[in-house]
Structure 1
Amino acid sequence: MNLDNQPWVTTLIASRGDAQASASRLDLARARADEREPQLKAFTFRPDHYDGIGGAAAKPLAGLPIAVKDLIATADMPTTYGSPVYAGYMPAEDAAIVARIRAYGGIVFGKTVTTEFAWRQPGPTVNPWNARHTPGGSSSGSAAAVAAGIVPLAVGTQTLGSVIRPAAYCGVVGYKPTHGRVPTAGAHPLSQSLDHIGFFANRVDDVALAHALFVEEKPDALASIDAWRAYFTPRRPESIGVIRTSMWSRADDEQRANFDASIKHLQETGAQVFELDLQVDLPVIVDALQTILQVEAHRNIGPVAAEHPDKVSEKMKALVTAGAAVPAAKYEEARALQKELSAQSAAFAGGCDVLVSPPATGAAPLGLDDTGDATFCAAWSFLGMPAVTIPSGRAANGLPLGFQLIGERDADLRVLQFAAWAQQTLPAFR
């Protein structure tokens, strides 16, 4: 497998139509999974065989092995949503994103571990860099599978920070598109007003491949190397807005130092840097987000929790119980605030080409009982703005640190281009 940290997309385009190359990619992914899975525990299910590889070779994804979070329905593989309630459950049809993967010739390599219904009860996955540390969540297995070199691309979901944070913890690229740009049909809802489909890869170029196919639906961008370069080229932003928020103290010393060093490095290339306020204090956003999450989680998961109390975690019971107690007026106020602020995403950018913030409070915490703090992802999930995190260094213990770039709603491609430039510009991570 292409483990040299170079973009997969160019290799994929160059081998279009080569069935042997598609089969080889799959064989390498299987060998890598066999090697890493006994400790990593990133997958809930991997098939014994894969159909349609030869026919996929002429399509845009050319038999590329792609891991899919177990929150997302697959008609030919069990989908458990991270819950014993659904052990062995086989959906009647594929989720929308899975159907698109298959239509473009991608191979669903396996289902990856999710926390219970994408909330806080962790699965067994460990951090690929140190098995004593969390990989983050809720897209734990998808982030870990990419970081371990098993698959070049994986699909996850984010409600608060479930793509960006585990990507940062595992030292890979995470991309959360603008809310609603990728259909969530067939992904078990936690909170529809906040849920996003997102992607993991080792290079920004490769999540940009996912953007071209699954957000913009432009397969012609992958028709040739020249077509790809015309579609996607790294760009240096002229202006960068730095967002620290009133919760900056939650970031640890190493994350703060790495963030400031990354900004300085980018500034030295000629980009102008401006310190910006968030417009609305982050605790206000977090409170509204929690209100929406609690109410919608109660609607979506409350009936299951009531019917199977012995198979639902205490963390999930607490969430749905809190949702049941929220007054209807408070929920409507929170949704109104979300709609009002989301429509003003350009104002949050403060005239800058791109915003930057930490993706997490620091490196992955020690222990597997908690998936980490989503503080620095919350605002962008609430506002539905596109976000990308890239690896930006390591903590003293060797674990990855990340750097997050955010853009106006529907400016996903520009944010990805800026992120690709930043990944090229910042000191090498690996």
Structure 2
Amino acid sequence: MSGQPCSLIATILANRHDEAAARATLQEAQARADTLEPWLRAFVHRPDVYAVRDACTRTLAGVPIGVKDLVDTCDMPTCYGSAAYAGHRPARDASIASSIRALGGVVFGKTATTEFAWRDPAATVNPWNRAHTPGGSSSGSAAAVAAGIVPLAIGTQTVGSVVRPAAYCGVVGYKPTYRNIATEGVHPLAASLDHVGFFARSVEDIAVAHALFVEGAHDVLDDETSWRKHFGAAPEIRLGVIRTPFWDDLIAPHQRDNFDASLQRLRDGGAQIVEVELAADLRAMREATLTILAVEAYRAIGHIGERAPALVREQMRALLAQGAATPLSTYQDALMLQATVRAQSVALLQGCDALLTVPASGEAPAGHADTGDARFCAPWSFVGAPAMNLPSGWSEAGLPLGLQIVGAMHEDMKLLRLAASIQTMLGFEARTVPA
């Protein structure tokens, strides 16, 4: 694959009713994966043969899509990043995988995940610097898009597992409103927090995925005119800046400088920027998030840890032990706080169209023992509000930096239109890793 990859909408329209074009798209993805995968390790499985004969008559027209190995696929191993499920072959596809195939998309392969989407890292490296983490848990999905192997990849986020790796890898990562995409057939970590999300190179590509998998608006992709009419520009923009209680202690200077520079670009582009104080206790929300996570992980995975403890890694065993020891009343209080904050989703924006904050404390950390700090993403997973990372620059070390945008629950399309305008104002597009 040479040059910058085509947009997702351009690829769809080029491949529609053209089997040769669909095959060429797939062959380019295979060639790029063959070149980069020996060191990138974004995929844990790729099939030997792909079928596209009838795909080009349907909406996704043979587009190759990476699918996180937390998502069941009946024709490929699904191991959930765990030795306890080595060689596991589900009986049926997850809902999102089934939708991809029904629309003519090609499940290009299973992307690497941390164990059960928790902290123990996968083998994937950061595509911009192999000595750094790509983030987690959707490590492989973020890296596969950043490397230009696939134009779209499926990830999941329980705390920060879409937005943070997107920031570390320099791509757009989108976590929709809670339950806007069905999690059926996706191995749970914490059902009250789990989201299915997308990685792509641009907001527009994310909007295409949203139209297909959330809105079910397939007809808007029939031609360029229909698409432009559906995905129009945002009107005047008012954005609220959230500087969390963790700001001074955790934000690296390069991330702080990039954030301030991004705000100035948005002001220069005509956006109204206001500083706001979130009308919720972020520290209490973080503690409640960790409580729900531990208890529900124990309920979903504890039986595996008890049956085969040697096959479950250290950080997961610690989480399961925490969940087992948490009093029921503490868990119920956490769920009550979550319900209260979710009901106040629109009010949290305080009259703004969206909120701005950082997606992470800075660039991707060096080493592969840890996938990074998720606390700047956690509040929005707890609330269930739509959130996304936009590439916003580069650190002095040559690693990507990002800007996180948060909307109100069930106002995803509004957030996507705002984000498209914001991406234009920032002036940063996702780059492709050289082959």
Fold shared, TM-score > 0.5 on shorter chain: yes
Opposite residue 57 of structure 2, the aligned amino acid is A
* Equivalence for 2:427: 427
* Equivalence for 2:211: 212
Mapped to 2, the partners of 1:325 and 1:226 lie a distance apart of 57
User: Runs in 1 of length 4+ with deviation above 3 angstroms?
Assistant: none
* Equivalence for 1:400: 400
The Cα shift of 1:151 comes to 0.4
For residues 5-52 of structure 1, what are the alpha-carbon distances to aligned partners after superposition, in whole Å with 9 as ceiling and x for unaligned? 65221332243111111100100000000000000001000000012x
* Equivalence for 2:139: 140
Structure 1 gap segments, 5+ residues each:
none
Mapped to 2, the partners of 1:157 and 1:2 lie a distance apart of 29
Scaled by the length of structure 1, what TM-score is found? 0.98
The Cα shift of 1:236 comes to 5.0
For residues 56-98 of structure 1, what are the alpha-carbon distances to aligned partners after superposition, in whole Å with 9 as ceiling and x for unaligned? 1021110000000000000000000000010000000000000
Which has the larger displacement, 104-113 or 8-17?
8-17
Mapped to 1, the partners of 2:236 and 2:286 lie a distance apart of 29
- 1:90 to 2:89 alignment: yes
Given that 2:43 and 2:140 are in contact with CA atoms closer than 8 Å, whether structure 1 keeps it comes out as yes
Mapped to 1, the partners of 2:138 and 2:59 lie a distance apart of 25
Mapped to 2, the partners of 1:43 and 1:4 lie a distance apart of 22
* Equivalence for 2:378: 378
* Equivalence for 1:367: 367
Opposite residue 68 of structure 1, the aligned amino acid is V
For residues 362-396 of structure 1, what are the alpha-carbon distances to aligned partners after superposition, in whole Å with 9 as ceiling and x for unaligned? 00000001000001100000000001111000011
Q: Secondary structure at the match of 1:376?
A: coil
Mapped to 2, the partners of 1:57 and 1:9 lie a distance apart of 14
* Equivalence for 2:20: 20
Mapped to 1, the partners of 2:89 and 2:324 lie a distance apart of 30
- Does the C-alpha gap of structure 1 residues 72 and 259 become closer, same or farther in structure 2, counting only changes over 3 Å? same
- Does the C-alpha gap of structure 1 residues 215 and 159 become closer, same or farther in structure 2, counting only changes over 3 Å? same
For residues 308-360 of structure 1, what are the alpha-carbon distances to aligned partners after superposition, in whole Å with 9 as ceiling and x for unaligned? 11111110010010001111111111101101110111111110011111111
Given that 1:5 and 1:203 are in contact with CA atoms closer than 8 Å, whether structure 2 keeps it comes out as no
Given that 2:14 and 2:21 are in contact with CA atoms closer than 8 Å, whether structure 1 keeps it comes out as no
* Equivalence for 1:167: 166
The Cα shift of 1:216 comes to 1.0
Q: Secondary structure at the match of 1:109?
A: strand
- Does the C-alpha gap of structure 1 residues 237 and 404 become closer, same or farther in structure 2, counting only changes over 3 Å? farther
Mapped to 2, the partners of 1:296 and 1:378 lie a distance apart of 16
The Cα shift of 1:281 comes to 2.2
The Cα shift of 1:181 comes to 0.4
The Cα shift of 1:54 comes to 1.8
* Equivalence for 2:152: 153
Opposite residue 105 of structure 1, the aligned amino acid is G
- Does the C-alpha gap of structure 1 residues 406 and 322 become closer, same or farther in structure 2, counting only changes over 3 Å? same
The Cα shift of 1:3 comes to 4.8
* Equivalence for 1:76: 75
- 1:336 to 2:336 alignment: yes
Opposite residue 415 of structure 1, the aligned amino acid is L
Mapped to 1, the partners of 2:294 and 2:236 lie a distance apart of 37
The Cα shift of 1:270 comes to 1.7
Given that 1:164 and 1:176 are in contact with CA atoms closer than 8 Å, whether structure 2 keeps it comes out as yes
* Equivalence for 2:324: 324
Scaled by the length of structure 2, what TM-score is found? 0.97
Given that 1:67 and 1:151 are in contact with CA atoms closer than 8 Å, whether structure 2 keeps it comes out as yes
Which has the larger displacement, 240-249 or 117-126?
240-249
Q: Secondary structure at the match of 1:54?
A: coil
* Equivalence for 1:263: 263
Mapped to 1, the partners of 2:326 and 2:260 lie a distance apart of 39
Q: Secondary structure at the match of 1:57?
A: helix
